[in-house]
Amino acid sequence: MDSMFFEYPELLYLELLLVPMVALYLYRELKRKSPSLTVSSLSPYKYSGRQWSRVLRHIPFVARCIAVAAIIIAIARPRSSSTFEKIDSEGIDIVLAMDISTSMLARDFNPDRIGAAKDIAIQFIAERPSDRIGVVVFAGESFTQSPLTTDRPTLINLMKEVECGIIEDGTAIGNGLANAVARLKDSPAKSRVIILLTDGVNNRGEIAPQMAIEIAKTYGIRVYTIGVGAMGEAPYPMMTPYGVKEMMVKVEIDEELLKQIATETGGEYFRATDNTKLLEIYRQINEMEKSKTTVDSFPLYKEEFSKFALVALVALVMELIVRLFAARRIV
């Protein structure tokens, strides 16, 4: 909000000069003697305009007082100030590497692992407006679902399109990690992060996980790993002669590998056993990877004297006009 102040407020005391000016003017008006004439009737003078002329006679003095007051305010240098805030956000580049093998259809999460992972990832994306985020998916192979972008609506729509079965089945953790690193290696961001989520054991792919780890370390990319799946067994939908039925299958997650990936790249390993735990993990990562925001405040000043100078000019012109064209008619 703008506020006005004066650079030289002591000059405003000059406004007191108006007091003797007005006093002197009133004194002269009272001392002024007007000739009188006794008449039997005022009818001939009723609409003569003499009363209006008496009012006009005082306009030049009033205009001069306004001009003097405005000039004094102008030389006191009135200024208005407001605050300008410059916000610099140093975002983080993040790639979400998500396992979409068919084992992600297990129903130990609600509605299933892939559904829960997508919903919580979308919430994570929405909560980080200053960051560029990309999405990589992997199963038997890996591909980029979305490159790094700040376009949240498009990114969320692409995340919603992720499904199991769209690529060859399997779990190529090395390929998924290497692909995610490729999306980040040329990034100019100071902080580059991968969040790798899987529910299985590396069993496919041309790139070994250890090689992918070395590549990530070479580029200084931090990797957080998340193993999803209940402890022991989990219900999994299977096709039988009687239709789709849930069968209990053993949960196998290569936690040692995921811990190695996280430890060697400076990240951290998490284990999610249900929706609540997975949401908590993403929130924890959200807190650990804070975007740097700098807010600098600058005062902005605007000179306001021109408004008062204009008022003074108009008042002086008015005085001049009245004196030149109207004063001649004042008796």
3-class state of residue 157 by DSSP: helix
CA distance 54 to 24: 18
CA distance 294 to 90: 8
Q: What is the mean pLDDT of residues 122-146?
A: 94
For the ranges 37-46, 59-68, 278-287, the lowest mean pLDDT is seen at: 37-46
pLDDT surpasses 70 at 55: no
Mean pLDDT over all residues of the chain? 86
pLDDT surpasses 50 at 330: no
CB within 8 Å of 162: residues ≥ 6 apart: 98, 100, 114, 118, 135, 137, 145
pLDDT band at residue 331 using 50, 70 and 90 as cut-offs: very low
What pTM was estimated for this model as a whole? 0.64
DSSP state of 44: G
DSSP state of 291: P
Axis crossing angle, helix 59-75 with helix 18-31, rounded to the nearest 10 = 170
pLDDT, tens only, 156-198: 999 999 999 899 999 999 999 999 999 999 998 888 999 999 9
State residue 134's pLDDT score. 96
State residue 59's pLDDT score. 83
Q: Where are the domains of the chain?
A: 3-28+46-83+302-329, 92-290
CATH top-level class of 92-290:
alpha beta
pLDDT surpasses 60 at 47: no
Q: What is the mean pLDDT of residues 308-327?
A: 83
Q: Residue 95: is it exposed, middle or buried by C-beta count within 10 angstroms (0-12/13-18/19+)?
A: buried
pLDDT surpasses 70 at 37: no
State residue 54's pLDDT score. 66
